[in-house]
C-alpha cells in the first residue's frame, strides 16, 4: 500500500472484536515455549512483531502451529531450547529483543539478537547492564543492538529499575527463572504486569508485593490453555474516534482492562469522556466490553505517575487533547522519544500541520485545544502508533489528509484500516 487518502467522516457506529493484545501475545509464546508440555493459546495476535517472536522460537527448535484462532506451542521446558544456527532476527520488535534477552540469559549456549535499522538505534544498556549484574555476558554495539548473549550460570539479583519499564522487568524475571535463589525487581511506579500474571498462571514461584516482584529460580513451568483478550492500545484509536465524532457510539468487545495498561481509560474519564465497562471477565487477565459515546472533552493535567499505564496510548491522547476545551499539560513523557520513532516529535509535527497548538519543553507537552483540525500531509516516520493516531485526527478534520506510509500498521494491527471501514 502506498500513500493513503483519509477523508473526514460524520460518525463511527457499531460493535467490534479486536485482534489479541500484542504484549500478552508475545508473552504467551515465550512462556509457552519454555514451559513443559503443550500450550494452546486462543487469539494470539497475527502481526509482524509477534510473528518475529514465533520465528525466533522456531529457530530454537520449538514447534508452533497456527490453526484458525488457535496457536499450539510444544514447550520443552526451561532448558529445552536449541542453539540457533544463525542470529535471531526480531525485525522492529523491541519487546521481542528485550524479553528474549532474559530467556537467552539462562541457556547453555550463545546467541545473537539482531533487528532492523530502527531497532538497531534503540538503547539496550538498560537491559545489558542489569543482566551483567546477574553474571550474564551481553555484548552490544555502543549500547545498541545487535545483542550477543552468552548464557549460563545466572545469579539472583535484587535490582531497582531506574525507570519503570515492563520490558526490563520482564527480562530480569525471565532470567531469574534460571537463577539459584530469589530475583527481585523493584519499581518506583507500577509498569504493566502481564509477565507476572502469566508466570504465576504457568506455575512459577513468584510473589508480588506492592511495587516489588520476586521470582525463585529453578521451578519448571507447565503448559496451559489461555485466551488472549483484545488489545486496549488498538481499542484506544476507535474509542477516540467515537468520542470526537458527533453522534458516534461504539462497543469494543472483550478488551484487556488490566489496571497497569488501562491508564487511557482513567485519563479519558478525567477528560469527560462517556465510557462504560460491561461484561467483565478474565482468568489471569481482566477483560470487558468497552462502550464509548461521543461528547465534549476538557483539558487536564497528566502527571508522570500516570504515564507508565498509558505510554502506548499517548499519541492518541495528544490528538484528543488537541480538540479538547482548554489546556492539557503532560509531564514525564520522555520515554516516547525512544520508541519506533521520537513520538513527541512526530505527533507535534503532524498535529501542528493540521492546525493544533502544541509546545514542548524537555519531556513536557502543553496542548491548547482548538475547535477543529484541517487536512494535511501526514508523515508516519514508519511508526504504527503515529500512523493510527493521525488517521483518527484526519477523520475529524476539515478536508482530506494523505498518509505517507500506511502499511507500517502491520507491526501491531494489520487489520486497522479494514476494521475502521466497518465503523464508518
> What structural domains does the chain harbor?
4-20+229-423 (3.65.10.10), 22-215 (3.65.10.10)
**Between vectors from CA 216 to CA 198 and to CA 31, what angle results, nearest 5°?**
30
List the catalytic residues: 312
Separation in Å, CA 67 to CA 28, 70, 78, 224, 324: 16, 5, 25, 17, 44
Q: Coil, strand, or helix at residue 70?
A: strand
Rg (CA), the chain: 21
Give residue 54's region: left, alpha or beta (phi > 0; psi -120 to 50).
alpha
Sequence-distant (6+) residues with CB within 8 A of 127 are: 98, 101, 102, 138, 147, 167, 168, 171
Sequence-distant (6+) residues with CB within 8 A of 421 are: none
Q: Coil, strand, or helix at residue 9?
A: coil
Q: Is the pTM of this model over 0.75?
A: yes
DSSP structure string for 10-23: S--EEEEEPPBPHH
Separation in Å, CA 273 to CA 320, 355, 422: 10, 23, 23
Whose CA is closest to 173, among 153, 156, 190, 149? Answer: 156
DSSP structure string for 85-119: SS-EE-TT-HHHHHHHHHHHTTSSSEEEEE--TTG
Q: Is 273:242 a contact under the CB 8 Å cutoff?
A: no
Q: For residues 251 and 275, what is the distance between their CA atoms, to the nearest angstrom?
A: 10
64-79: string of b/e by CB count within 10 Å (b at 16+)?
beeeeeebebbbbebe
In tens digits, the chain (424 residues) has pLDDT values of 589 999 999 999 999 999 999 999 999 999 999 999 999 999 999 999 999 999 999 999 999 999 999 999 999 999 999 999 999 999 999 999 999 999 999 999 999 999 999 999 999 999 999 999 999 999 999 999 999 999 889 999 999 999 889 999 999 999 999 999 999 999 998 999 999 999 999 999 999 999 999 999 999 999 999 999 999 999 999 999 999 999 999 999 999 999 999 999 999 999 999 999 999 998 899 999 999 999 999 999 999 989 888 999 999 999 999 999 999 999 988 888 878 789 999 999 999 999 999 999 877 899 999 999 999 999 999 999 999 999 999 999 999 999 999 999 999 999 999 999 999 8
The residues that bridge with 291 in the sheet, in sequence order, are 251, 276
Query: Within 10 A of 326 (CB to CB), how many other CB atoms are there?
Result: 13
Q: For residues 23 and 308, what is the distance between their CA atoms, to the nearest angstrom?
A: 14
Amino acid at each position: 500500500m502506498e500513500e493513503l487518502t483519509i477523508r473526514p467522516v460524520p460518525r463511527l457506529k457499531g460493535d467490534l472484536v479486536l485482534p489479541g493484545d500484542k504484549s500478552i501475545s508475545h508473552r504467551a509464546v515465550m512462556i509457552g515455549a519454555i514451559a513443559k508440555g503443550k500450550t494452546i493459546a486462543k487469539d494470539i495476535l497475527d502481526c509482524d512483531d509477534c510473528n518475529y517472536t514465533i520465528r525466533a522460537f522456531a529457530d530454537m527448535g520449538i514447534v508452533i502451529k497456527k490453526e484458525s484462532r488457535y496457536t499450539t506451542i510444544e514447550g520443552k521446558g526451561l532448558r529445552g531450547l536449541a542453539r540457533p544456527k544463525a542470529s535471531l532476527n526480531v525485525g522492529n520488535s523491541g519487546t521481542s529483543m528485550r524479553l528474549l534477552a532474559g530467556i537467552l540469559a539462562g541457556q547453555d549456549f550463545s546467541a545473537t539478537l539482531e533487528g532492523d535499522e530502527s531497532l538497531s538505534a534503540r538503547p539496550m544498556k538498560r537491559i545489558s547492564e542489569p543482566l551483567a549484574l546477574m553474571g550474564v555476558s551481553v555484548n552490544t554495539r555502543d549500547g545498541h543492538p545487535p545483542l550477543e548473549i552468552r548464557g549460563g550460570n545466572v545469579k539472583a539479583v535484587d535490582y531497582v529499575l531506574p525507570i519503570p519499564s515492563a520490558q526490563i522487568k520482564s527480562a530480569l524475571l525471565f532470567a531469574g527463572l534460571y537463577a539459584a535463589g530469589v530475583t527481585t525487581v523493584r519499581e518506583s511506579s507500577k509498569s504493566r504486569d502481564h509477565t507476572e500474571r502469566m508466570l504465576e498462571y504457568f506455575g512459577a514461584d513468584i510473589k508480588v508485593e506492592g511495587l516489588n516482584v520476586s521470582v525463585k529460580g529453578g521451578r519448571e513451568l507447565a503448559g496451559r490453555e489461555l485466551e488472549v483478550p483484545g488489545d486496549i492500545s488498538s481499542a484506544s484509536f476507535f474509542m477516540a474516534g467515537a468520542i470526537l465524532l458527533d453522534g458516534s457510539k461504539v462497543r469494543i468487545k472483550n478488551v484487556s482492562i488490566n489496571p497497569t495498561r488501562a491508564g487511557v481509560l482513567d485519563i479519558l474519564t478525567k477528560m469527560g469522556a462517556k465510557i462504560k465497562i460491561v461484561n467483565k471477565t478474565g482468568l489471569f487477565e481482566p477483560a470487558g466490553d468497552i462502550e464509548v459515546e461521543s461528547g465534549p472533552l476538557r483539558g487536564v493535567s497528566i502527571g508522570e505517575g500516570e504515564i507508565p499505564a498509558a505510554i502506548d496510548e499517548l499519541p492518541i491522547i495528544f490528538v484528543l487533547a488537541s480538540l479538547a476545551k482548554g489546556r492539557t499539560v503532560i509531564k514525564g513523557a520522555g520515554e516516547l522519544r525512544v520508541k519506533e520513532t521520537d513520538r513527541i516529535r512526530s505527533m507535534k509535527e503532524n498535529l501542528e500541520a493540521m492546525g493544533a497548538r502544541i509546545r514542548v519543553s524537555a519531556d513536557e507537552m502543553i496542548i491548547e485545544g482548538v475547535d477543529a483540525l484541517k487536512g494535511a500531509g501526514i508523515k508516519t516516520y514508519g511508526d504504527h502508533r503515529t500512523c493510527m493516531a493521525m488517521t483518527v485526527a484526519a477523520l475529524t478534520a476539515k478536508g482530506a489528509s494523505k498518509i505517507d506510509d500506511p502499511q507500517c500498521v502491520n507491526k501491531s494491527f494489520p487489520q486497522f484500516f479494514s476494521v475502521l471501514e466497518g465503523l464508518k
